[in-house]
Chains A and B, each alone.
Chain A
């Protein structure tokens, strides 16, 4: 019953450092998403994936890269962190299609601070 798990939960980076956020889901979902949530800006889509080996850009992709080498994992990378990337990052997943079984499930978030 793990659902969507994000690692790590908290991280402080120095400007210019790199890091990878891991999202893992155990529901065999095809779709996976990375969002960032900022005060006054709401949730904004960074990148998403519709299946293993595929990725696509969302609304705010600059400064981030993603990979989906395995169906259950979706990685978000910051190659050179900037203070503007200080945010709370959420991963989500859902099944393919558009019916009642396509409910989206979210992880608990990663709080990232770039100093």
Chain B
């Protein structure tokens, strides 16, 4: 059974810092990995999708990497802003999506 973990569970940083969120999964037989953002009381917004054959994807200040063989993905956020404060979830697609528990990020002004 696929299990997804995310470290850290919570993170608080001052504005402007670069930061890394981690996602680990136990079964490397995945088709893709997707990072989401969730604001309090809201739905999930897709940030980046990485196919299993890819190593990384970039969108603006976000860069996601994937090392399928070691079961790891990282989400790098450059020059963080208070508006980046949210919970970040990773999900791996095998037969279905399996989600990690999320990292709650607070960026302080």
Chain A contacts to B: CB under 8 angstroms: 33, 35, 40, 42-43, 45, 48, 58, 90, 92, 98-100, 102-109
Contacts and interface: CB of A to CB of B under 8 A. Distances in A.
A109 B51 contact: no
B34 A45 contact: no
Given A90-B44, A104-B46, A98 B96 contact: no
A33 B93 contact: no
Top 9 nearest A-B pairs (CB, nearest first) are A98-B31, A106-B44, A43-B99, A108-B43, A42-B101, A106-B43, A103-B49, A109-B43, A42-B99
B43 A104 contact: no
B89 A104 contact: no
A109 B42 contact: yes
A109 B49 CA distance: 21
Given A100-B32, A104-B46, A107-B43, 6 more contacts: A35-B99, A43-B91, A98-B93, A102-B31, A104-B91, A108-B42
Interface of B: 31-32, 34, 36, 42-46, 49, 51-52, 89, 91, 93, 96-97, 99-102
Contacts of B97: 33, 45, 92, 104
Contacts, number: 52
A42 B97 CA distance: 12
A90 B46 CA distance: 14
A106 B46 CA distance: 8
A71 B79 CA distance: 42
Contacts of A103: 34, 46, 49
A105 B99 CA distance: 14
A103 B102 CA distance: 18
B28 to A, nearest CB: 14
